[in-house]
Amino acid sequence: MQSTNHDAVIDYKRTLTENIFTCMEMSKQSYVEVMNMPVKRLYDYLEWKVKLEEEKRKMMDEETNK
């Protein structure tokens, strides 16, 4: 059981690191600014930004297909 728990922690750290750098890239904020965000806000921002980018892509596709 210990190994599974350890693997879960490693996976969480890896995912969190990826999300931090994704947020930095998407928001054009510094590492310090992102690290000062509450974790919930970080994940809420990423979810919102992905939806926003999808909507932008759909609008561009619609304009292209006209």
Q: Where are the domains of the chain?
A: 2-65
Q: Are 50 and 44 in contact (CB under 8 A)?
A: no
Please say if the pLDDT value at position 65 is more than 90. no
* CA 22/CA 16 separation, integer angstroms: 10
pLDDT tens by residue, 11-61: 999 999 999 999 999 999 999 999 999 999 999 999 999 999 999 999 999
pLDDT band at 2 (very low <50, low <70, confident <90, very high): low
Please say if the pLDDT value at position 4 is more than 90. no
Q: Provide the whole-model pTM.
A: 0.74
